[in-house]
Amino acid sequence: MAVLPPGVSQRTLDAALAEWRSAIGSEWVFTSDEDIYGYRDSYSILWGTDEERIPSAALAPASVEQVQQAVRIANKHKVPIYPVSTGRNLSYGGPSPNVRGTVVLDLKRMNRILKVDDTRNFCLVEPGVTYFDLYNYIQERGLKVMIDLPDPGWGSPVGNSLDHGVGYTWGPFRDHFVSHCAMEVVLPNGELLRTGMGGMSNADTWQDYKYGTGPSTDGLFGQGNFGVVTKMGFWMMPMPEAYLRGMVYAPKFADVIALVKTVNFLEDQGIIGMPNYGSPARTAALPFNKPADPDLLALMANGYPSVEQVDAYVAKKGVPAWSVQLQFYGPRKTVEANWEYAQAKMREAIPGATFDGVYRTDLPVPKERLDEVVLRHMGIPALEIFNIVSRNESHGENPPDGHNNCVAIVPRTGESLMTFSKAVIEGMRAVGDMRPWSPFTTPATWHPRTFLCGPSVFTQRNDPESNARNKRLYESLVDTYAKYGWVDYRCTHAFQDRVVSKYDFNNHALMRFHELLKDAVDPNGIISPGRYGIYPRSMRRTRA
Amino acid sequence: MAVLPPGVSQRTLDAALAEWRSAIGSEWVFTSDEDIYGYRDSYSILWGTDEERIPSAALAPASVEQVQQAVRIANKHKVPIYPVSTGRNLSYGGPSPNVRGTVVLDLKRMNRILKVDDTRNFCLVEPGVTYFDLYNYIQERGLKVMIDLPDPGWGSPVGNSLDHGVGYTWGPFRDHFVSHCAMEVVLPNGELLRTGMGGMSNADTWQDYKYGTGPSTDGLFGQGNFGVVTKMGFWMMPMPEAYLRGMVYAPKFADVIALVKTVNFLEDQGIIGMPNYGSPARTAALPFNKPADPDLLALMANGYPSVEQVDAYVAKKGVPAWSVQLQFYGPRKTVEANWEYAQAKMREAIPGATFDGVYRTDLPVPKERLDEVVLRHMGIPALEIFNIVSRNESHGENPPDGHNNCVAIVPRTGESLMTFSKAVIEGMRAVGDMRPWSPFTTPATWHPRTFLCGPSVFTQRNDPESNARNKRLYESLVDTYAKYGWVDYRCTHAFQDRVVSKYDFNNHALMRFHELLKDAVDPNGIISPGRYGIYPRSMRRTRA
């Protein structure tokens, strides 16, 4: 495949490749079709089209010094590079760059765990370290800290955090960018920057205090393209004594308003870990791997149903409209007291609230009980997530290869959940997607202060027509969300321009500010052009 | 006083003043000596010297639009301005600018509370809003949220957060920059920027989600000079049901190592609020308002004492070396369970640990019990802090007017506390300050993941010699801290250049990066020149 970065000749690319080979070793500079295949995004909705974000080459440096050299060479030849940590960011671009032809800078060889401290409760890691690596390191040494991790566990704490990724345990740790503490970054000119206390050579507080003295620039490097992050620290949770989970059920559709308020009250004072919302009514309406309930189809057939109509449906099905699984981490007596308190608060707020499914275990979870828990809720890396979404058994003979999550930032209220399904249906119907849908939207709660809502859109490498159709669907969802004030918190390359275009305040002041900074920090535009819609001046389209 | 900004002629200043008068009303443009007096820093160690950071004028716009106009006028005439929220940042510069002659942009008239939401638990406020204002607003409406606030309560949440200020309650809220959620900023060119979800005109998640989609630039505006912040959101804690506090005592000097580890373990899983460290041995050694204990003087007379010598001293005094007050917020049964658990953990870690001083109250604190609590620990604004430090009764007939806290970021370990006093004594003795000092350093724990340690240095407007001596002392402390890897997290104008010069990694890469950004965002250098050592190109000294 003859792919080149925009505005870069084969000759220029070859010159850069030659220098990279001499800087980091020719066995770590990849240009063959076979090698490049591994840097394609197997979840790409653009697979096999001219738009697919195929790299022209890939480099895998082994050290910070080699990264600096690689960046300097890129800058000299104005050849764009796209750093990836482990390239496992599936559904969000995987190992592929934003702009076709960009050279992937693969940091997987930089996989040292530099420090795990279980008295100050932090770690310092390189980008190639995976959650499995970190977990094994901690287990081998018997350190008393819990990891907060995303699914699947093969990803990188550094990469996940830099894409504003998320996890599953207690609020202060679930937002992986919030829980990071300071970075080391190779700037586009090859210079090494350490942020926060790392700015002081002899400070031993680099992973304790985020800011240093003066402004903080870490935010630029999350979902940004201002440098190559080569080290990051993360705050960790000391291993709690015990875990308790319990289910709460709310009978009626509008109970979700009081349910969410009560969960927020518990969450925001740290009483619970991640709440897992569910809807027994939705399970009845759209049973897994079976046809939709005919009563649901009738309910949704004549315009969007009223609250009363939905409640009549729920009553007929004889199940609660909503559920939430509450999780508690802490001392044994504390998790019991907190669960008791949560039930009391729920009873106050929701007439007819019911409870069951209480499960208790000491932490860390004893080996013989591991099959009773969701591993990622316990800070244990796993690949169990691949049972769901595009890889589950519901898809028949030609199952999808992947999915792109079209997940929007939605206010943390029951009202917004009651409206969200309406928007999804609008977005689907606008492109002729007539699949059955229910009024029961349940949010992801990875970010402790906001809801994330939205469906997965499937991708299929052997079916370009399906991809084209699903691309239109995704775009329609993005456009429809925006009418309601919602927008994706994160998305794959193919949709980033569209998503960030929704940030329209004061004629896109936020993007114009990002571009101003980009031009200053990376005048040759060599780091990750196009990432989250930020292009260097040379590639910048006129904003409509 | 004929004070002008550097490089600005009287004629240029007059032209700018004329435009400002027409933009915001002449009664809100202050130039008389009497008016300017109010914009001097009464805690300035440079008081009355040629170095004092006296402004040439002050402006008080009433709205965002007026701020934009004021900034555009400043930019047109290249006259620097220094925004202050309420100007109450005492010990850190108060209402005065960093560079003499800079015009103060006083935002106190912008004092609207735009939103307090006690189901999603946030507020949105303008810079002129004080903690008292916010508290009264919440009380009047019976909203069920707790404020985290600094001392004293007359300050501004916006101003405090932007100086990386801190509070007294539960970990996720004590760091006021961490707990902020998104901003509105007038950029140096007068353009209005909203960060995070504010970048989307119709989003209703501006105070729920920090980042938006793409990089985050909020960090630039904390301890920075990249724009004028005109609105900020803050996450708040729902009002907990109950409060419990209890004291822990550790007998020996080296027990501080286990004590700190145990407190960290409790703090980092959210079991406790702010731990208040103390030292009964220090109270015996250096009793308030009385001469130092002769045994202490003997202990410290022949070089820095060994752990054994300190323990012999502690044993002789018959008091515990250390104490920590633990505070618990939450449901009634939870705070009891957590206190019980904390005691068990302390007993495990510290042979001979003892406990007392248990106090319980429901929250909010009933009126009749307000004199039993430290108001700021309960989220209640107060001015009680003025009883301590420079304003207390220990100072005799010519008491100091103010103080400058020389407080360094120190690792959260007992070992660092055991070393810290040595450094302070070194720093004092280097400038001939021979005051008695003890080996018992107790940290401030405002930032939940780091210790802040260090003495207050006094200022006195009627005693320039004392100020000069204390300035040398402060500088000596900064230099001495730096040898140990410690540096001030925040400091008054007079010491900012020196403090940030300690960030020496890779030839001051962090400052060079700040300067690169400064030149891009504020090419005329009109916003707060010199703030935390960042000067515009025109004023930049050659770095030594």
Which residue carries 């050299």 as its tokens? A69
Q: Testing the interface with A: which of B205, B207, B450, B489 to mutate, by most A Cβ within 10 A? A: B205
Comparing CB atoms, the residue among B341, B490, B532 nearest residue A333 is B341
- 8 Å CB contact of A237 and B502: no
Comparing CB atoms, the residue among A195, A265, A504 nearest residue B201 is A504
- 8 Å CB contact of A215 and B204: no
Distance separating alpha carbons of residues B261 and A95, to the nearest angstrom: 40
Domain with CATH 3.30.70.100 in chain A: 240-363
Give the mean model confidence (pLDDT) for residues A79-101: 94
Q: Which two tokens stand for residue B341?
A: 């658990």
Residue A310 confidence (pLDDT): 98
pLDDT above 80: residue A391: no
- 8 Å CB contact of B215 and A191: no
- 8 Å CB contact of B119 and A486: no
Comparing CB atoms, the residue among B119, B213, B261 nearest residue A223 is B213
- 8 Å CB contact of B411 and A506: no
- 8 Å CB contact of B337 and A340: no
Give the mean model confidence (pLDDT) for residues A368-380: 94
- 8 Å CB contact of A214 and B500: yes
Distances (CA, A) of B269 to A334, A383, A480, B170: 12, 27, 40, 11
CB contacts of A509 in chain B (<8 Å) are 191-194, 199
Domain with CATH 3.30.465.10 in chain A: 113-238
- 8 Å CB contact of A200 and B226: no
pLDDT tier, A447 (very low <50, low <70, confident <90, very high otherwise):
very high
Rg of the Cα atoms in chain B = 24
Distances (CA, A) of A303 to A283, A290, A312, B183: 21, 24, 16, 39
Give the mean model confidence (pLDDT) for residues A9-34: 98
Which residue carries 């400064």 as its tokens? B518
Q: Number of Cβ pairs closer than 8 Å across A and B?
A: 336
CA distance A384 to chain B (A): 27
- 8 Å CB contact of A503 and B212: yes
Q: Which amino acid is at A63?
A: S
Residue A88 confidence (pLDDT): 86
Comparing CB atoms, the residue among A200, A502, A509 nearest residue B192 is A509
Distance separating alpha carbons of residues A82 and A69, to the nearest angstrom: 15
Q: Which CATH architecture has domain B240-363?
A: 2-Layer Sandwich (3.30)
Residue B417 Ramachandran class (φ > 0 left, ψ -120 to 50 alpha, else beta): alpha
Burial class of residue B151 (count of CB atoms within 10 Å of its CB; 0-12, 13-18, 19+) = buried
CATH of domain A507-542: 1.10.45.10
- 8 Å CB contact of A194 and B509: yes
Q: Testing the interface with B: which of A513, A521, A537 to mutate, by most B Cβ within 10 A? A: A513
- 8 Å CB contact of A514 and B217: yes
Residue B151 confidence (pLDDT): 84
- 8 Å CB contact of B488 and A177: no
pLDDT tier, A544 (very low <50, low <70, confident <90, very high otherwise):
very low
Residue of chain A nearest B219, judged by CA positions: A216
- 8 Å CB contact of B216 and A222: yes
Lowest-pLDDT choice from A118-122, A242-246, B196-200, B389-393? B389-393
Residues of chain B where predicted confidence (pLDDT) is lower than 50? 543-544
Distance separating alpha carbons of residues B76 and A397, to the nearest angstrom: 68
Query: Is omega for the bond preceding B364 within 30 degrees of 0, making it cis?
Result: yes
Give the mean model confidence (pLDDT) for residues A196-221: 98
Q: Which two tokens stand for residue A312?
A: 């009549």
CB contacts of B223 in chain A (<8 Å) are 211, 213-216
* Domain B113-238 class, CATH top level: alpha beta
Distance separating alpha carbons of residues B482 and B479, to the nearest angstrom: 5
- 8 Å CB contact of A449 and B203: no
Residue B290 confidence (pLDDT): 92
CB contacts of B514 in chain A (<8 Å) are 214-215, 217
CA-nearest of A130, A125, A222, A135 to A177 is A222
Q: Testing the interface with B: which of A98, A334, A496, A498 to mutate, by most B Cβ within 10 A? A: A334
pLDDT above 90: residue A396: no
CB contacts of B215 in chain A (<8 Å) are 219-224, 226, 514, 532, 534
Give the contacts of B541 (CB within 8 A, at least 6 positions apart): B535
Q: Which two tokens stand for residue B180?
A: 């902020």
Residue A269 confidence (pLDDT): 96
- 8 Å CB contact of A215 and B220: yes
The tens digit of pLDDT for each residue in A401-445 reads: 899 999 999 999 999 999 999 999 999 999 999 999 999 999 999
- 8 Å CB contact of A204 and B331: no
Residue B543 confidence (pLDDT): 47
- 8 Å CB contact of A510 and B194: yes
The tens digit of pLDDT for each residue in A509-538 reads: 999 999 999 999 999 999 999 999 999 999
- 8 Å CB contact of A209 and B449: yes
Comparing CB atoms, the residue among A197, A331, A534 nearest residue B409 is A197
Residue of chain B nearest A502, judged by CA positions: B200
Distance separating alpha carbons of residues A428 and A480, to the nearest angstrom: 9
CB contacts of A500 in chain B (<8 Å) are 213-214
Residue A181 confidence (pLDDT): 97
Instruction: Give the DSSP letter of residue B241.
Output: S
Q: Which long-range contacts (CB under 8 A, 24 or more apart) does B289-293 make?
A: B289/B393, B289/B394, B292/B436, B293/B317
Comparing CB atoms, the residue among A201, A220, A491 nearest residue B217 is A220
Helix residue ranges per DSSP H, B197-331:
255-267, 280-285, 294-299, 307-317
pLDDT tier, A543 (very low <50, low <70, confident <90, very high otherwise):
very low
CB contacts of A410 in chain B (<8 Å) are 205
Domain with CATH 1.10.45.10 in chain A: 507-542
CA distance A531 to chain B (A): 8
- 8 Å CB contact of A194 and B340: no
Q: Testing the interface with B: which of A117, A230, A409 to mutate, by most B Cβ within 10 A? A: A409
CB contacts of B511 in chain A (<8 Å) are 199, 214
Neighbouring C-alpha atoms within 13 Å toward the C-beta of A290: 9
Residue A445 confidence (pLDDT): 97
Comparing CB atoms, the residue among A223, A238, A520 nearest residue B268 is A238
What rounded mean pLDDT belongs to chain A?
95
Q: Which amino acid is at B473?
A: L
The tens digit of pLDDT for each residue in B29-48 reads: 999 999 999 999 999 999 99
CA-nearest of A286, A276, A337 to A313 is A286
Residue of chain B nearest A119, judged by CA positions: B261
Task: Read off the pTM.
Answer: 0.97
CB contacts of B115 in chain A (<8 Å) are none
The tens digit of pLDDT for each residue in B309-368 reads: 999 999 999 999 999 999 999 999 999 999 999 999 999 999 999 999 999 999 999 999
- 8 Å CB contact of A409 and B261: no
Our measurement of the distance from residue A93's CA atom to the centroid of its chain's CA atoms, rounded to an integer in Å, reads 11
User: Options 1.10.10.410, 3.40.50.10420, 2.60.40.420, 3.30.43.10; which CATH number does A10-106 get?
Assistant: 3.30.43.10
CB contacts of B201 in chain A (<8 Å) are 504-505
CB contacts of B482 in chain A (<8 Å) are 200, 202
- 8 Å CB contact of B269 and A240: yes
Residue A385 confidence (pLDDT): 64
